[in-house]
């Protein structure tokens, strides 16, 4: 029987460009935490390597099997489930997937979600121009995974602007939405919390969004504000600009109560199978 509670840990990061440096940081953070079993640890987008360009990410993608093995061994040693933000994994041609990998406490890779919506946008910050699709291949599969914490819906950063993805995840049974991110400061100030709260409210799900934060060695600046949001849209935790991890026990009985009192899934007349 599954528990009515989910132990969640969010580790904000200001990731460097070198995978070895970021993996060491993660290991050190896990060493300082007191974790109850089972626990789900959540990392931001690009946690393993926040590269300066797509070619550097492509180079790391070619070694992704090595890093998957190292992450698996770490999960086994620590006895944790890990939502490993994103890391580059080779796709076809000269592109890679921005892959969000979920590991269980035995070290097994139980799911891989490849980011579907790619960030091709102009932003009024130092970078000015973002063209993620130049080196990243878009995924095409919705991923919802059964776990000791309930059903987890996997997505990444820019995905959060596309509500239809989360409607499908809710139809597939998701009750915790994992949205690792590396939001720009400009777009974060304008849209980060409203978007995440909307996704929580409309799907009546918990939202867990681990975020990159601060000034990075690759010249990027990220918004931070890792959050956990309730199915009612309440911000339960917000790390703001801190790198301090968040730990919270989510109550799934509250989620079920909200869904029973207002059964929006049953009321929805525009379900995905109608489109």
Question: How is residue 60 written in tokens?
Answer: 């790391």
Q: What is the DSSP secondary-structure string of 260-275? A: HHS-HHHH-SS-GGG-
Q: Which residues pair with 215 in a beta bridge?
A: 221
The verdict on whether 45 is a catalytic residue reads: yes
Q: Which of 206, 210, 160 is nearest to 180 (CA)?
A: 210
In whole angstroms, give the CA distance from residue 109 to residue 190: 35
Q: What is the DSSP secondary-structure string of 125-147? A: SSS-EEEGGGTBPPP---EEEEE
- What is the dihedral angle through the alpha carbons of 96, 17, 105, 32, rounded to the nearest 10 degrees? -170
The verdict on whether 115 is a catalytic residue reads: yes
Catalytic, out of 45, 51, 75, 101: 45
In whole angstroms, give the CA distance from residue 54 to residue 43: 21
In whole angstroms, give the CA distance from residue 76 to residue 157: 27
- Total residues belonging to the chain: 275
Catalytic, out of 14, 51, 75, 157: 157
Classified as helix, coil or strand, 20 is helix
Catalytic, out of 95, 101, 115, 221: 115
Residues annotated catalytic, as ranges: 45, 115, 157
């Amino acid at each position: 029987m599954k528990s009515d509670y989910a132990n969640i840990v969010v580790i904000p990061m200001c990731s460097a460009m070198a995978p070895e440096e970021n993996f060491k940081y993660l290991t050190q953070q896990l060493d300082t935490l007191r974790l109850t079993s089972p626990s789900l640890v959540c990392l931001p987008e690009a946690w393993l390597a926040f590269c300066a360009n797509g070619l550097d990410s492509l180079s790391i993608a070619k070694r992704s099997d090595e890093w998957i093995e190292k992450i698996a061994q770490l999960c086994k040693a620590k006895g944790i489930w890990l939502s490993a933000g994103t890391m580059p994994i080779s796709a076809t041609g000269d592109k890679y997937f921005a892959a969000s990998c979920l590991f269980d406490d035995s070290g097994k890779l139980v799911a891989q979600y490849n980011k579907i919506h790619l960030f091709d946008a102009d932003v009024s910050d130092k970078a000015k121009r973002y063209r993620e699709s130049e080196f990243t291949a878009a995924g095409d599969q919705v991923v919802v995974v059964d776990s000791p914490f309930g059903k987890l819906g996997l997505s990444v950063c820019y995905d959060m602007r596309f509500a239809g993805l989360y409607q499908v995840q809710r139809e597939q049974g998701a009750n915790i939405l994992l949205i690792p991110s590396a939001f720009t400061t400009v777009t974060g100030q304008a849209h980060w919390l409203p978007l995440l709260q909307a996704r929580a409210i409309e799907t009546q799900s918990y939202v867990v969004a681990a975020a990159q934060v601060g000034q990075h060695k690759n010249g990027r600046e990220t918004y931070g504000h890792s959050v956990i949001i309730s199915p009612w849209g309440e911000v339960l935790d917000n790390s703001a600009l801190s790198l301090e991890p968040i730990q919270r026990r989510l109550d799934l009985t509250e989620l079920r109560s909200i869904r029973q009192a207002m059964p929006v899934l049953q009321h929805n007349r525009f379900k995905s199978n109608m489109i």
